[in-house]
Amino acid sequence: MGTTQLESVPEPKYWHLKTVIGEALDSDFAVGEILPNERELAARFGVARATLRQALEQLELEGRLQRRRGVGTTVAPPRMGVDVSTSPNDWPGAADDAWQTADCTLAVPPAALARVLDTESDEAVHIVRRLLVTQGQPVAAELLYVPSASVPDLSGIDTPSATTRARGVLRELQRLTLEGQDRAVELGSARADDAKELERLPGAPVLVVTTRYFSQGRTAIASVATYRADTCRLTFGDSGDLQIRHDSRRRAS
């Protein structure tokens, strides 16, 4: 079989350099250590500074390096392992839920989510915004889309506070019987609002976890959670608890 056009394309020089530098980070540098300046690094690896910058930028995107103004480029800590397994019996907002509730609005969801929720194209739903923070750093932002039919008694809650209303939505969900859930994970780019909450630039790589929760034979709510791809590794297991843990050593991602 002949070589495909893609296979014949040579690996970019900066990409090979990224691999070499990554190996050096594991063997020659400690977490938090400041790297030599660009001139010294370019001389050490025998490359042009432009090539070096491309490699460093890629390593920063992958979460291996951090650039701090006034300090320089430092070796980043290992990615945090985020267990996204949840108990099959728990709705978002359960007592042991680690997410911080931010606010709630009533708006028409994107068309794709309206189809998932089986709502009319112009029907407004409750949109609860939450944030996951660990060690003072935001690592994920979540939007919960909740049709009014899933929280029929919410109309009795009359409060000007968006946060209080969000908690009311989550509290009403606990009255439903959760029959199951499914989850999908994909790589995406941070939108402007997510980027601001996660302290990243718009377009930065993120991991998007979409979850559907079922009750009474239909999708009762849909969750879209956006995780920082540079600091998080998503893990799945049998545990029902959502946990954040720090590895003692870096693992391949």
Q: What is the CATH number of the domain that holds 65?
A: 1.10.10.10
Amino acid, single-letter form, for residue 233: R
Domain membership flag for residue 153: yes
Strands 205-215 and 244-246, how do they pair? unpaired
In a shared domain, residues 49 and 129: no
Domain membership flag for residue 138: yes
d(CA 224, CA 84): 12
The per-residue pLDDT of the chain, averaged, comes to: 81
Domain membership flag for residue 68: yes
In a shared domain, residues 56 and 103: no
Please indicate whether residue 140 or residue 76 has the higher confidence score (pLDDT): 140
In a shared domain, residues 84 and 101: yes
In a shared domain, residues 71 and 98: no
d(CA 57, CA 20): 14
Residue 216: CATH number of its domain = 3.40.1410.10
**For residues 234-248, average pLDDT:** 49
39: domain range?
10-75
pLDDT at residue 191, rounded to an integer: 86
In this prediction, what percent of the chain has a pLDDT beyond 70?
Answer: 82
Domain membership flag for residue 135: yes
In a shared domain, residues 61 and 183: no
In a shared domain, residues 87 and 180: yes
Is residue 241 predicted with pLDDT exceeding 60?
no
In a shared domain, residues 227 and 148: yes
d(CA 105, CA 165): 9
pLDDT at residue 244, rounded to an integer: 40
In a shared domain, residues 56 and 145: no
pLDDT at residue 145, rounded to an integer: 97
Number of domains in the chain: 2
In a shared domain, residues 133 and 48: no
d(CA 207, CA 82): 11
Classify 122 as helix, strand or coil: coil
Least confident segment among 7-21, 33-47, 87-101, 191-205:
7-21
- Structural tokens at position 95: 């007592």
Domain membership flag for residue 1: no
Domain end residue (candidates: 47, 75, 103): 75
Domain end residue (candidates: 59, 75, 91): 75
Is residue 214 predicted with pLDDT exceeding 90?
yes
In a shared domain, residues 89 and 175: yes
In a shared domain, residues 142 and 22: no
**For residues 199-224, average pLDDT:** 89
**For residues 6-22, average pLDDT:** 75
Classify 250 as helix, strand or coil: coil
Torsion, Cα 18 79 31 50, to 10 degrees, reads 20
- Structural tokens at position 131: 């944030």
Q: How confident is the model at residue 143 (pLDDT cuts 50, 70, 90)?
A: very high
